[in-house]
Structure 1
Amino acid sequence: MISLIVAVAKNNVIGNNGIIPWKIKGEQKRFKELTIGKTIIMGRKSFEEIGKPLPNRKTILISNTQCIESENCTTVNSLSEAFDLTKDEDEVFVAGGGQVYKESFTYADRIYITVIDKIIDGNVYFPEISSDDFIKSYEERIDAEIPYTYYTYERRK
């Protein structure tokens, strides 16, 4: 199963000039809970934003310009190479950035999305989720300094 995992502003912004344009205490809790012990696939810019492989996960970095090979981190040249490496896993998480989400969207079986209850300026966007393709299976509102809602969408069969 290929799952996309993302946080977006109300206007679908996911980034601004290479950084996540918000910091909300607790907002990344679901990401950690869902991805611990799993494989995450991400592009070079997303990896650079984090700065290192995330603990207790296998990271597959997609890049043509940077090669990081370390414990729990492998670099490949394409999304298809990343999917080939993970074909025997139960669930794999695509974790950004914008181009990688765009390329992987048609392969997604599930989308875990956190919607920040604010319009935020940015220049990288997450694709629109169509109700023709996906059905909402989970929703949980979190009251915080800036409220947000966790959603899960499943691809329609």
Structure 2
Amino acid sequence: MITMIAAAAENRALGKDNQLVWHLPNDFKRFKNLTTAHHIIMGRKTFESFPKPLPNRTHIIITRQADYQAEGCIIVDSIEKAIEKCPKGEEAFIIGGGEIYQLALPFSDKIELTVVHHSFEADAFFPEIKLDDWELVNSDFQTKDEKHLYDYSFETYIRKQKTPQQ
């Protein structure tokens, strides 16, 4: 199963200058809980935004740079090759950035989305979800507090099965 996991604002903003534009500790905890012990697929810029590789995960980096190296990581040049590197029958996660999410959307079975209830100036955006293709199966609204400056919701979408007439 291929799952896209992201935090995006109401205007689909993901971040600016390769950084998140909000800080939501509970979103980080959820990300860690869901992705630990799994393969995670990301673009080179997303990987380079981390101070070090994320622990207890297999990193697959998509890049056009033929000579790119990152110790302990799998390097590929397409979303298709990244998916091929993931164990069959196990959940793998697409973790960004914006271009990678767009490429991965047709291959994805599930979306774990944290919606930040605010709009931000950004240079990277999450792709638009066509609700004809996706079913919202869970939504958990969280109110802002002393550690979270914005209201947010954890949402889970599952790709709808096509019927023969579609």
Q: Does 2:12 align with 1:8?
A: no
Q: Give structure 2 stretches of 5+ with no counterpart.
A: 162-166
- Deviations along 1:78-122, whole A, 9 cap, x unmatched? 211111111524111000001110101011100000000111110
The secondary structure found in structure 2 opposite 1:103 is helix
Q: Does 2:157 align with 1:156?
A: no
Higher Rg: 2
The correspondence of residues 48-67 of structure 1 with structure 2, limited to 5 A, is 48-65=48-65, 66-67=68-69
Task: Number of aligned residue pairs: give it.
Answer: 155
Question: Could you tell me which amino acid in structure 2 is paired with residue 40 of structure 1?
Answer: I
Give the superposed CA RMSD: 1.2
Structure 1 position 22, deviation (Å): 1.3
- Deviations along 1:5-27, whole A, 9 cap, x unmatched? 00001110002121111122322
Deviates more, 1:22-31 or 1:42-51: 22-31
Q: Does 2:120 align with 1:116?
A: no
Cα distance in 2 for partners of 1:64, 1:97 equals 14
Deviates more, 1:93-102 or 1:142-151: 142-151
Q: Does 2:28 align with 1:19?
A: no
1:97 paired residue number: 97
The correspondence of residues 35-50 of structure 1 with structure 2, limited to 5 A, is 35-50=35-50
Given candidates 68, 71, 78, the residue that maps to 1:69 is: 71
Could you tell me the percent identity over the aligned residues?
35
Question: Could you tell me which amino acid in structure 1 is paired with residue 70 of structure 2?
Answer: I
Structure 1 position 48, deviation (Å): 1.1
Structure 1 position 63, deviation (Å): 1.5
2:164 paired residue number: none
Q: Does 2:86 align with 1:86?
A: yes
TM-score after normalising by structure 1: 0.93
Q: Give structure 1 stretches of 5+ with no counterpart.
A: none
Structure 1 position 136, deviation (Å): 0.3
Cα distance in 1 for partners of 2:125, 2:6 equals 11
TM-score after normalising by structure 2: 0.89
Q: Does 2:36 align with 1:29?
A: no
Deviates more, 1:132-141 or 1:77-86: 77-86
Q: Which runs of 4+ in 1 moved over 2 A?
A: 24-27
Cα distance in 1 for partners of 2:89, 2:21 equals 32
1:146 paired residue number: 150
